Amino acid sequence: MGERQIPEQLLADCHLLGRLPTSAVLLNRNAALPWFILVPQTSLCDFLDLPEALRREVLADCASVSAFIKQELGFDKVNVAGLGNVVSAMHLHIIGRRPQDACWPQPVWGNLPDGGPYSAEQLRDWQARLVKVTGLLPASL
């Protein structure tokens, strides 16, 4: 999947970090929380419509990012969602949460304050750590 196949709205809202076996990995530009978005390589819109084998592979990519959030970033709670109400192309949100975060216990949608942007150094660090931990194939930042 090339960058041009990732919905424009997601590219506008996120940094493209790279690819896992089935999905592009993006990071929401709001640094308030580690909010990753995986965009599976499929024309289907809903996760549960994926063929079983691909669904398992996409879920493995999600689990890999979840483990990164927990083990590398120190979050003990990870929320996973696939909504697609604004952007219809399949994409899955994987978000690190903790009781001390800016909108706990509310959902992030509509409640997350601006946490400012990520620094170039932090983006490169997280990307390098994702390469090491998850096998991410990095994109140019």
Q: What is the pLDDT of residue 70?
A: 98
Nearest to 25 by CA among 133, 130, 132: 130
Q: What is the pLDDT of residue 1?
A: 38
Q: What's the CATH number of domain 3-134, 3.40.50.1980, 2.30.30.90, 3.40.50.460, 3.30.428.10?
A: 3.30.428.10
Q: What pLDDT does residue 84 have?
A: 80
Residue 85 confidence (pLDDT): 83
Using CA atoms, how far apart are residues 77 and 96, in angstroms rounded to an integer?
A: 6
Spatial separation of the C-alpha atoms in residues 72 and 45, rounded to whole Å: 30
Residue 40 contacts residue 57 (beta carbons within 8 Å):
no
Residue 23, C-beta contacts closer than 8 angstroms, at least 6 positions apart: 38, 39, 40, 41, 58, 61, 92
Residue extents of the structural domains in the chain: 3-134
Q: What percent of the chain is helix, strand and coil (3-state, nearest 5)?
A: 35, 20, 45
Cα(138)–Cα(140) distance, integer angstroms:
7
CA separation for the pair 49, 45 (Å, rounded): 8
Q: What is the pLDDT of residue 3?
A: 41
Model confidence pLDDT, tens digit, residues 50-64: 999 999 999 999 999
* pLDDT tens sequence across 84-110: 888 989 999 999 999 999 999 999 999
DSSP lists the bridge partners of residue 28 as 14
- pLDDT under 70: residue ranges of the chain: 1-4
